[in-house]
A = this chain, B = another copy of it.
């Protein structure tokens, strides 16, 4: 296809964040990013959290260039990106060999401009949505997206960042670890789409903590090398994957919540069993765990939280940092938010509050105040200092990557007509 539009081989896409409920931690192959265990995540709505990426191929470009959140990166030093781009170009090259009429896009250089709509300070891993958008964007820009399955694309995204493969799908997504040494079978598959369990909501409680965490790439390999308990976790994950898929298929919130919390705990347990130990959970995280445990215990029969209980109202999970992600059914979001506000006092200024709550404000005011008062006194936890949480992000389960524009679009593209970022921030 030869186009008369000078920027026809450009596409702008967005890709979602995903938060796992069966965690990925440990690689069996560090260059192919093959995991030691399968994992499963929920894709969060791009209406709230997304990476947006514009990719353009052009014969006039002299070299591949990448701008990330307004700052140019040295592409050649980003080995993982080089791997993703090489694989996608190889696919294009085979297409061009089969059909000589195709534009020789495999030989053209790419300009890629990407940005996240959430601050790095939010503590959300941006590499998953970022590499998903990059892979999806390049595949569409150079016309290979329709030639490979979505799972194949997820395999390529995996080369950039393991968990990125799960952001190629919406809804509930498994990353099946696979068994082949070349990793061809280590791909993401959709377990259920975003319409399957419409009541599932997520609250991200962003903790204030200046401490620099161990980067997950280095951390997980230290766990593989030194943790004596990791191998036992690896043996247990297949059963947990099966149980989690069943819980999702049945929309069984009790089972889902229990498995989610147990897996998060176990992930942080193997981090602690690493030497030197990795401790992502801080005192704010511990207080969230304590609050959710005590809150659930009000509804799980004998006043205890514990395995096999019924009546869970909230489930926490923590990635490689202190922020909690709570998965909650819609009907309980107002009361959970009310409890969070009591024990983690929000800022007082109106403007600060607006930014702090965002979409969560929609849920506030509809809770049963008397019931919340009663719960607060029964939970009996000492409230934390104001400022312990930096903000609350309210979101839901969402779809997979979106195409925002095919060809250059003045309103949507992150690149200007000249192929450089519209606004470059130093």
Partner of A276, one of B276, B282, B293: B293
Number of interface residues of A (CB under 8 A): 35
Instruction: For the complex formed, measure the closest distance between the CB of A209 and the CB atoms of chain B, giving whole angstroms.
Output: 9
**Chain B residues whose C-beta falls within 8 Å of the C-beta of A282 in the assembled complex:** 283, 286
Cross-chain contact B226 with A266 (CB below 8 angstroms)? no
Pick the interface stretch among A4-12, A95-103, A228-236, A349-357.
A228-236
Partner of A272, one of B226, B268, B307: B268
Asked if A270 CB lies within 8 Å of chain B CBs, one says yes
Partner of A232, one of B229, B265, B272, B279: B229
Cross-chain contact A262 with B283 (CB below 8 angstroms)? no
Cross-chain contact B276 with A272 (CB below 8 angstroms)? no
**Chain B residues whose C-beta falls within 8 Å of the C-beta of A273 in the assembled complex:** 229, 265-266, 269
Partner of A270, one of B225, B269, B279, B307: B269
Max chain B CB contacts within 10 Å: which of A268, A273, A305? A273
Instruction: For the complex formed, measure the closest distance between the CB of A306 and the CB atoms of chain B, giving whole angstroms.
Output: 7
Max chain B CB contacts within 10 Å: which of A268, A272, A289? A272
Chain A stretch 281-307: residues in CB contact (< 8 A) with chain B:
281-283, 286, 289, 293, 305-307
Cross-chain contact A269 with B229 (CB below 8 angstroms)? yes
Instruction: For the complex formed, measure the closest distance between the CB of A369 and the CB atoms of chain B, giving whole angstroms.
Output: 27
Question: Closest B-chain residue to A322, C-beta based?
Answer: B283
Cross-chain contact B289 with A279 (CB below 8 angstroms)? yes
Asked if A382 CB lies within 8 Å of chain B CBs, one says yes
Asked if A275 CB lies within 8 Å of chain B CBs, one says yes
Instruction: For the complex formed, measure the closest distance between the CB of A283 and the CB atoms of chain B, giving whole angstroms.
Output: 5
Ranked 3 nearest A-B pairs via Cβ? A232-B232, A269-B273, A269-B269
